[in-house]
């Protein structure tokens, strides 16, 4: 999705040796990145899992990381259909380099190090970075739905149909768990009692689903499309539809958002304005001719045309920015019971008047 005084992680791993090792490894990675002892390879080259990882902590004593000098706009975006608008937008701008990544933890760290100007990732990743002291700002949101509950053996119509069972989630505190918990509780169920989360990376969960060893897995696109053809596998619940029904809205909720560093944003308002305009235009292009949009971007995403077309059909786009963006994000967190305090005023990018 440093140095001697690494800030505490937003979520301490609660139990088990594996959790302790995970914390130590992440802390070491952040220390190495900031000290500059080891140069990591490009984000595309080390793919381990498509699940967004918890955001690394950012030390309060180090409020900014000086970005490396760029002669072009550098954008990191995930290997999902949500990056199709980014790739199309880049084709209409000068001197833009888009790196498609599959290792979210590495992409987050490289962004913090200054290797990318814009990081496209899940909303909660940026929120976690901000809470941990990173001077990040969100510049727009353009994906309002791309997550589904996929089940094995039978199709379910509601979470209550799974009472007493397990749902596989990528990691504790992930945006998918955040939304799953909200939707489960909307049906009067108790999270971790009536429905038990099992934390497992997408790749492992998908394999267990195929084997019938996982009864329900929460997945984003394109994982849903890639697994739906398996025997006895059903795409059961659409999270965006469930959200709209629970809240009485028709707009979904902000999921995929581009982030920038505050100092960089202040120095490049024209670039941000152009990027946002081109993202909005790209969404219109996708709506008018999704096949052409896929043909323009398939080579960079590395997925078959048929998979991308089906996956794109399950990805709901909705562009918002500026005051509407701040209102939507604050409203989302208020609704799920995690309101953002006044410090988040600095989280929302607003173009200079």
Sorted by where each starts, the structural domains of the chain and their CATH numbers stand as 17-145+255-347 (3.40.190.10), 147-247 (3.40.190.10)
Say what the pTM is. 0.81
Tokens 């790749």 correspond to what residue? 203
Q: Burial letters for 135-158: b for 16+ Cβ neighbours within 10 Å, e otherwise?
A: bbbbbbbbbbbbbbbbbbeeebeb
More reliable by pLDDT, 18 or 309 = 309
Identify each DSSP E strand in the chain by its residue range.
73-78, 96-101, 118-122, 136-138, 141-145, 147-152, 165-169, 195-199, 216-220, 233-238, 256-261, 316-320
**Among residues of the chain, what percentage have pLDDT more than 90?**
76
Cβ count near 340 (within 10 Å): 18
For 166-213, write each residue's pLDDT tens digit: 999 998 888 899 999 999 999 999 999 999 999 999 999 999 999 999
More reliable by pLDDT, 17 or 226 = 226
d(CA 212, CA 198): 15
Identify the band that residue 22 occupies on the pLDDT scale cut at 50, 70 and 90.
very low
Res 92 pLDDT > 60: yes
Number of helical H runs and strand E runs in the chain: 13, 12
For 115-171, write each residue's pLDDT tens digit: 999 999 999 999 999 999 999 999 999 999 999 999 999 999 999 999 999 999 998
Query: Does residue 20 sit in helix, strand or coil?
Result: helix
Res 28 pLDDT > 50: no
d(CA 146, CA 120): 15
- Report residue 268 as tokens: 């490049």
More reliable by pLDDT, 274 or 13 = 274
73 contacts: CB under 8 Å, gap ≥ 6: 93, 95, 96, 97, 117, 118, 271, 275
More reliable by pLDDT, 24 or 107 = 107
What pLDDT does 306 receive? 94
Cβ burial, residue 254 (10 Å; 0-12/13-18/19+): buried
What pLDDT does 54 receive? 59
How confident is the prediction for the chain on average, in pLDDT? 85
- The answer to whether 142 and 89 are in contact (CB under 8 A) is no
Mean pLDDT for the stretch of residues 73-95: 96
């Amino acid at each position: 999705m440093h140095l001697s005084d690494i800030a505490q992680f937003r979520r301490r791993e609660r139990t088990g040796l594996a959790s302790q090792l995970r914390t130590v490894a992440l802390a070491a990675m952040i220390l190495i990145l900031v000290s500059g002892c080891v140069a990591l390879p490009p984000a595309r080259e080390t793919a381990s899992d498509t699940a967004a990882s918890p955001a690394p902590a950012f030390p309060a004593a180090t409020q900014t990381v000086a970005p490396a000098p760029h002669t072009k706009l550098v954008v990191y975006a995930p290997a999902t259909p949500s990056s199709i608008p980014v790739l199309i937008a880049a084709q209409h701008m000068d001197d833009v380099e888009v790196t498609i990544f599959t290792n979210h933890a590495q992409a987050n760290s490289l962004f913090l190090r200054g290797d990318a100007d814009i990081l496209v990732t899940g909303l909660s990743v940026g929120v976690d970075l901000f809470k941990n002291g990173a001077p990040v700002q969100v510049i727009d949101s353009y994906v309002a739905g791309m997550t589904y509950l996929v089940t094995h053996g039978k199709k379910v119509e509601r979470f209550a149909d799974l009472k007493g069972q397990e749902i596989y989630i990528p990691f504790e505190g992930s945006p998918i768990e955040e939304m799953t918990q909200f939707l489960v509780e909307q049906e009067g169920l108790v999270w971790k009692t009536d429905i038990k989360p099992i934390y497992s990376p997408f790749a492992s969960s998908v394999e267990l689903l195929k084997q019938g060893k996982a009864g329900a897995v929460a997945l984003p696109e394109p994982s849903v499309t890639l697994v739906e053809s398996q025997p006895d596998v059903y795409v059961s619940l659409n999270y965006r539809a469930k959200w709209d029904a629970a809240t009485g809205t028709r707009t979904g909720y902000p999921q995929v958002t581009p982030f920038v560093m505050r100092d960089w944003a202040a120095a490049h308002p024209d670039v941000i304005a152009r990027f946002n305009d081109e993202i909005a235009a790209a969404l219109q292009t996708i709506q008018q001719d999704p096949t052409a949009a896929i043909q323009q971007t398939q080579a960079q995403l590395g997925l078959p045309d048929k998979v991308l077309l089906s996956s794109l059909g399950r990805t709901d786009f909705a562009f918002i920015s500026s005051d509407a963006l701040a209102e939507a994000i604050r409203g989302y967190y208020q609704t799920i019971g995690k309101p953002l305090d006044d410090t988040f005023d600095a989280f929302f990018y607003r173009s200079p008047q």
